[in-house]
Amino acid sequence: MKKPVLLLGLIATVLGAFATPVLAAPKLSTQSIIVNPVQTTLQARVWVNRDPSGTYTPVYYVGDRITLYTSVNENAYVYLFNVNPDGTTDQILPNRLSGSNYVRAGQTRAFPAPGDRFTFDVAGPEGLNRVLVIASRRPLNLSELSTYQQGQSFATVKPTTTPGFAQALSIVVNPVTQPVPQQDWTSDTAAYTVRY
C-alpha cells in the first residue's frame, strides 16, 4: 500500500532544526521513512512498469529492463532517486539525457521515455530497492546532494548511506536560506526486489 506524503529516511531532528515553531514535527515510521505531517494539495505518484497499481513489490532479475513512471496532480518539478539495498543512491532525474524534469498536472511521464537514448537495466545487489519521487512547486537546488562528473549523463549522489542521503535531502528542501515551504513539496515511494 502506498504511504502518503513520504520522504525516505529524513531525520526528524534535522528537519526540526530548520523548521519554524508553527510546523508540526515529522513522524518516523517503522521503515525509517518520515511522514510529512503538513497537508498539501500537491500529490505525486511513482510506480514501476511491473506494478502499475503500486500495491505490491514486483521482482526483477539482473539484466531486466525497468521503466519508472510518475505523475502529479499539479504542475511540478519532479526528482527521482533509486535507493539500493546496500544504501547507495542513484539520481535518475534530472539527468543530462531526459530534458526537463518539469511535469504538467495530470501528465504521466516514463523514465526512460520512448525515444530516450538510454535504458535502465536492473543490476545488483540483490534485495529491496525503493524509488523515491519528490515533487516540488519550485525547482530544488541539488548541488549539495549530487554532482555530475565530467562526461557523465547522470549525477552521482554524494552520500553512500541512506541516512546520509536523507540528511542531505532534508537540507535540499529545508536550506537555511529560502527554505521550500512544507506545503510546496511532497513525495511518494515505490518498491521492487532484485534477484539473480
Whose cell is 536523507? That residue is: 166
55: left (phi over 0), alpha (psi -120 to 50) or beta: alpha
Q: Give tens-digit pLDDT for 182-193.
A: 888 888 889 999
Q: Give tens-digit pLDDT for 109-149.
A: 999 988 888 889 999 899 999 898 889 999 988 887 888 88
DSSP string, 26-52: PEE-TTSEEEP-S--S--EEEEETT-T
Other C-beta atoms lying within 10 Å of the C-beta of residue 131: 24
Distance in angstroms (rounded) separating the CA atoms of residues 125 and 158: 19
Q: Give tens-digit pLDDT for 84-99.
A: 888 788 899 999 888 7
Distance in angstroms (rounded) separating the CA atoms of residues 4 and 188: 7
Give the closest residue to 43 by CA, choosing from 133, 158, 171: 133
Q: Give tens-digit pLDDT for 5-14.
A: 333 333 232 2
CA 121 to chain CA centroid, nearest Å: 18
Q: Give tens-digit pLDDT for 59-76.
A: 999 999 999 999 999 999
pTM over 0.85: no
Distance in angstroms (rounded) separating the CA atoms of residues 42 and 137: 8
Distance in angstroms (rounded) separating the CA atoms of residues 72 and 52: 15
Predicted pLDDT at 192 = 96
Considering only residues 163 and 38, tell me which one the structure prediction assigns the higher pLDDT.
Answer: 38
Q: Which residues contact 196 (CB under 8 A, 6 or more apart)?
A: 61, 62, 124, 126
pLDDT for 44 beyond 90: yes
